[in-house]
Structure 1
Amino acid sequence: MTTPYQQQGQAPVPPQTPPQAPPQPPQAYAHQQPQQAPQHQAPHVPPGYVSPPPGAPAQPYAAVGTYTSPIPIQRTHLGNAIASEWTKIKSVRSTIWTLSVMAALVVGIGFLTSASTNDSDYTSAPTTLPGFFGALLGQLCVVTLGVLVISSEYGTGMIRTTFTASPARSRVLTAKALVFFTLAFVTTTLSLALVTFISSGMHSGPKVMDPSNDQLIGATLGVGLYVSLLGLLSLAVGSMLRHSAGAITTMLGVVLLPSILPAFLMMSPSLADLGVTMQKYSSPFALAALFQIDDSMGSGWSQLGVLGGITAGALVAAYVLLEKRDV
């Protein structure tokens, strides 16, 4: 079989192969190093890291650093919680309005009562009497404020932020109780003292009965303490119920029911003694006893002690429920 080249009378051309590089001398490979197998690199250890002793768990590197914050770190305490609660209670409008209405009722009603009476009306009653009528209505404002101090945070969800910032819940409740009780006591006592000063200035003379020291203390410090304890009881009820409307309704029943129910209980001979006892420890009777309107009522300090015991029991229950609940 002849090829095309033979038919044409030409010599066959051999197939071309790619050119190869000329061999290099052995010294040309002297600069090249043999490749080594990759080795595991040790993790970077930050400066200042100290290895844990044998048997102890290793600490993460993030926990060991050389950076020192310029801000001093201090452990929180009750004083920080009190400062926080004071900032909150003075920043809320309801606090200012409620206390203002309470002071206006106590001072305004006391002034109107003093202006509408004569010197002859105080021959057997002390001149501190006008403050009694204002305190009857002013206590309702303090009761309402005591509930709102804590229940408003539950209603808005702010209580979650409060407990996140201060995980010690008992500390938060203690701070709220201290701040509210101090504010209510100071405001109520100063309002009653102002009424006493106004009434004594408007009615003076030989026939006017000057109040004794016990009557002055009872009409100012005693009544201020009683009203503040009512507000503190409202705060405990608000912490347990966590609902503003429900807690306010409950406290209005606590204040008003012992004043209304005895009238019905006394209709029955078998329940008359219970009605008399309930009336003795009702809020209007206790306030009248602290003002010492009548010697037969006593000094009112026994009613104040009963209210203090009830408030302490309610606070203990509020502390227990606060620790058991999620929020």
Structure 2
Amino acid sequence: MTTPYQQPQSAPVPPQTPPQAPPMPPQSAHPQQMPPQAQMPQPKMPQPTPPPPGANPSQPYAAVGAYTSPIPVRRTHFGDALASEWTKIKSVRSTIWTLSVMVALVVGIGLLVSATTSDKDYVTAPPTLPGFVGTLLGQLCLVTLGVLVISSEYGTGMIRTTFTACPQRARVLTAKALVFFTLSFVTTTAALALVAFASTGMHSGPDVMEPSGKQWLGATVGAALYMSLLGLLSLAVGSMLRHSAGAIATMLGVVLLPSILPPFLMMSDGLFDLGETMQKYSSPQSLASLFQVSDDLGNGMAQLGLVAGVTGAALIAAYSLLEKRDV
């Protein structure tokens, strides 16, 4: 028993210890023997996307990661360069305006000359002659267009984009030359043929000289070839100079100086032969020979061959400088 003066004794309290985690099972060296909750998830590899329906299975596709481009990757060829240059030349306003002015000059002046002349004016000259007057001015339009086809890209800086898309610079220049020459030749031939047919229809009397096959060919295809070669020469000069105003001024000098200087050179005995040669191969004399205005002028094949040779030499120089110089 306890007395009122004695405190009851309590049982001893054991010391507090921190809770311990349950023991983990021993790890094994093989992951397949580990419990499922202890295994690390494996990353999933991206699966290649199949080509779109209707695609050619033999055509390679450019894929970035899991994305597959629907655009086929293939090597470019010369046809792509031709398509690019055709798109550029037909979408530029200068091409439309320059060719329109050229056609208006050749056809308009030719029909005007044919309408203001009579049958007696074509007794010794072929009735295809009225187209000659319009070509004297129309050739200046092709000279201007030939320069602008390539110099405008240098002026705007778009030539860098062109050479980036097609690093083969010779291919670009060849495509430009072919597209421009074909366009100018077809347009000029059509305009000259229209004038020739209209003029022979207006002057077909018994006293009118009947044009021969060579006269028909020279007044249409020959004159168009001469003008187109002048335009191609302008393109080569524009590629070398890379400046529109400078190249146009140079070509105007090439076309006009042989027509202006010969009378002054022929005043001197020492320069008479030079002046006579320059007059023979000048632009008006060359076109008059192609139209066969008179038998003394020839058929114009010599003048046409000279223009072709000078144009070929200028193109070779343009190719050489194009590969050596930076843009």
Q: TM-score, normalised by structure 1?
A: 0.83
Cα distance in structure 1, aligned partners of 2:200 and 2:290? 18
- Partner residue in 1 for 2:274: 274
- Partner residue in 1 for 2:142: 142
CA deviations over 1:168-218 (Å, ceiling 9, x no partner): 111111110000000000011100000001101110111000110000001
- Partner residue in 1 for 2:209: 209
1:46 offset after TM fit, Å?
6.3
State the secondary structure of the residue aligned to 2:71: coil
Does residue 30 of the first structure (1) align with residue 60 of the second (2)?
no
> How many positions carry a matched residue from both structures?
288
Please give the residue correspondences for 1:61-100 in structure 2 after superposition, counting only pairs within 5 Å. 68-100=68-100
State the secondary structure of the residue aligned to 1:269: coil
Does residue 241 of the first structure (1) align with residue 241 of the second (2)?
yes
CA contact (8 A) 1:130 1:199 kept: yes
How many percent identity over aligned positions?
Answer: 74
- 1:205/1:71 Cα in 2 relative to 1: closer, same or farther (>3 Å)? same
CA contact (8 A) 1:111 1:198 kept: yes
- Partner residue in 2 for 1:197: 197
In structure 2, give the amino acid aligned to 1:31: M
CA deviations over 1:140-191 (Å, ceiling 9, x no partner): 0000000000001111111111111111111111110000000000011100
CA contact (8 A) 1:148 1:244 kept: yes
Which moves more between the two structures, 70-79 or 111-120?
70-79
In structure 2, give the amino acid aligned to 1:147: V
- 1:199/1:167 Cα in 2 relative to 1: closer, same or farther (>3 Å)? same
1:263 offset after TM fit, Å?
0.9
Cα distance in structure 2, aligned partners of 1:246 and 1:195? 33
1:69 offset after TM fit, Å?
3.7
1:73 offset after TM fit, Å?
1.8
Cα distance in structure 1, aligned partners of 2:248 and 2:183? 19
Cα distance in structure 2, aligned partners of 1:64 and 1:122? 74
Does residue 186 of the first structure (1) align with residue 186 of the second (2)?
yes
Please give the residue correspondences for 1:53-132 in structure 2 after superposition, counting only pairs within 5 Å. 68-132=68-132
CA contact (8 A) 2:169 2:322 kept: yes
- 1:288/1:31 Cα in 2 relative to 1: closer, same or farther (>3 Å)? same
Cα distance in structure 1, aligned partners of 2:214 and 2:299? 9
State the secondary structure of the residue aligned to 1:207: coil
Cα distance in structure 2, aligned partners of 1:146 and 1:295? 32
* Structure 2 unmatched ranges of 5 or more: 1-14, 30-42, 48-61
CA contact (8 A) 1:125 1:209 kept: yes
Cα distance in structure 1, aligned partners of 2:163 and 2:147? 18
CA contact (8 A) 2:63 2:69 kept: no
- Partner residue in 1 for 2:50: none
CA deviations over 1:38-69 (Å, ceiling 9, x no partner): xxxxxx99689xxxxxxxxxxxxx99977654
Cα distance in structure 2, aligned partners of 1:147 and 1:119? 40
Which moves more between the two structures, 152-161 or 246-255?
152-161
Cα distance in structure 2, aligned partners of 1:157 and 1:189? 33
- 1:63/1:206 Cα in 2 relative to 1: closer, same or farther (>3 Å)? closer
CA deviations over 1:13-36 (Å, ceiling 9, x no partner): xxxxxx762696xxx6631769x9
Does residue 21 of the first structure (1) align with residue 14 of the second (2)?
no
- 1:126/1:64 Cα in 2 relative to 1: closer, same or farther (>3 Å)? closer
Q: TM-score, normalised by structure 2?
A: 0.83
Cα distance in structure 2, aligned partners of 1:281 and 1:292? 14
Please give the residue correspondences for 1:209-228 in structure 2 after superposition, counting only pairs within 5 Å. 209-228=209-228
Segments of 4+ in structure 1 off by > 3 A? Answer: 44-48, 62-70
* Structure 1 unmatched ranges of 5 or more: 1-18, 37-43, 49-61
- 1:320/1:22 Cα in 2 relative to 1: closer, same or farther (>3 Å)? closer
Cα distance in structure 2, aligned partners of 1:308 and 1:113? 30
State the secondary structure of the residue aligned to 1:75: coil
Q: How much is the aligned-residue C-alpha RMSD, in angstroms?
A: 2.5
